[in-house]
Amino acid sequence: MDSVRDTLWINTRIATCDAHQPEPYGAVHGHALWLRGTHIHALLPQEQAVREFAGRGEVIDAQGCWLTPGFIDCHTHLVYGGNRAAEWAQRLQGVPYTQIAMAGGGILSTVRATRALDEDELALASLARLKALMAEGVTTVEIKSGYGLTLHDEIKQLRAAHKLATSLPVELASTLLSAHALPPEFSDDSDGYIRHICDVILPAVAREHLAEAVDVFCESVGFSPAQTRRVFEAATAHGLRVKGHVEQLSNLGGAQLVAEFSGLSADHIEYLDDAGVAALAKAGTVAVLLPGAYYFLGETQKPPVAKLRAAGVAMAVATDLNPGTSPFASIRLAMNQACVLFGLTPEEALLGVTRHAAQALGRATSHGRLAAGCVADLLLWDIEHPAEIMYALGTNPLSRRLFRGTEG
């Protein structure tokens, strides 16, 4: 039997992002991190660690650099075909979105481009985006469907996401988002499409274990709270967790609905009200902030960060990577935007892509922290302070990226 590989990281400053560590960033100094195989074995005072580790494996001198957990991008639409740069240019010149959509643009243009590709072509078209996230330290990524909107094409999207993840050192959290937009086949029958999701698409995806959660765009331009409830009920019946695109453009009470179903996360939430904040706090549902879309769309309504903070609601930060409203394959940009646009502290932004992002994907016990028993996904940064990770963009201070204890 092959022995498990042990490594010990010494002379490092460690931002554990662990709530059990009282210092900002969960920082510990004078400690060493002991990895055993794919997981963290121990975090110990360095002298003790070196003594106990002697002769067990490789000792790595971090030379004073910072270690953080691997980053988790907990909300992306990474797998899609085509792009909408021409549409963006039209919007910049004042062409209304409704006019663009009537001319064949908008989300349905991405649906057409996605449907036109087979599974391998779709994976290849999305590869550079995933590699860009990984280059900035992402080790776990959530990828949604929602640009197929038929049984065949939704499954194709999810399979393409799995194909990408199995070919690279990254973990996938896959989400079914068939209730993203109304497909042309159901243009006058939104209730009929919801029935199709609940009776056909969702059961098929569950049988093939292609998704671990189900999402709905609950909005006036998406699907109603009543329709969202039906999808959530079907998801729960098939053993899948729920999350929601909610309160982005208006307040329909979607966050309270997510909380009612013990949902993993309520995402966007710019129009979240006090009742919604209280519901998330009571349910332990994570608030996922998506500043890329807020920036790209030129929005002015900000999520109620101060109220979320006061209520103790965990706040995650994600890229919302998608072709229409947040075409940014940069987790560090999302962190920077969360600080500058939404008022998060750098510590909150780092927790937003580690511990709280792990919670938003149902991985709170195993991911997003540097603590014994957690996966050995970690990043080595050539910086003097953790705030530097999101402070200056254009250069990348990431020195080494480990996935399950192996560099890559």
Number of structural domains (the chain) is 2
Same domain, 54 and 144: no
One-letter amino acid for residue 190 of the chain: S
Same domain, 151 and 63: no
The C-alpha atoms of residue 392 and residue 382 are separated, in whole angstroms, by 13
User: How are beta strands 406-407 and 398-403 bridged, if at all?
Assistant: antiparallel
Same domain, 155 and 294: yes
Tell me the per-residue pLDDT of 337-393, one tens digit each, with 9 for 90 and over.
999 999 999 999 999 999 999 999 999 999 999 999 999 999 999 999 999 999 999
pLDDT at 105: 83
Average pLDDT over residues 175-195: 96
- Angle between helix axes 151-167 and 107-115 (nearest 10 degrees) is 70
Q: What is the mean pLDDT of the chain?
A: 97
Same domain, 255 and 114: yes
Domain membership flag for residue 53? yes
Q: What is the pTM of this model?
A: 0.97
User: How are beta strands 213-218 and 241-246 bridged, if at all?
Assistant: parallel
Give the domain range for residue 61: 6-69+369-407
Same domain, 284 and 295: yes
Domain membership flag for residue 331? yes
The C-alpha atoms of residue 315 and residue 351 are separated, in whole angstroms, by 8
Same domain, 173 and 316: yes
Tell me the per-residue pLDDT of 90-127, one tens digit each, with 9 for 90 and over.
999 999 877 887 787 888 999 999 999 999 999 999 99
**CATH code: domain of residue 62:** 2.30.40.10
Same domain, 34 and 127: no
The pLDDT of residue 220 is above 80: yes
Tell me the per-residue pLDDT of 276-332, one tens digit each, with 9 for 90 and over.
999 999 999 999 999 999 999 999 999 999 999 999 999 999 999 999 999 999 999
Same domain, 150 and 182: yes
Domain membership flag for residue 1? no
Q: For 343, left (φ over 0), alpha (ψ -120 to 50), or beta?
A: left
Tell me the per-residue pLDDT of 60-88, one tens digit each, with 9 for 90 and over.
999 999 999 999 999 999 999 999 999 99
Same domain, 25 and 110: no
Domain membership flag for residue 384? yes
Q: Output helix, strand, coil percentages for the chain, rounded to the nearest 5.
A: 40, 20, 40
Same domain, 159 and 16: no
The pLDDT of residue 274 is above 80: yes
The pLDDT of residue 2 is above 70: no
Same domain, 209 and 178: yes
pLDDT at 268: 98
Average pLDDT over residues 1-28: 92
The C-alpha atoms of residue 272 and residue 290 are separated, in whole angstroms, by 14
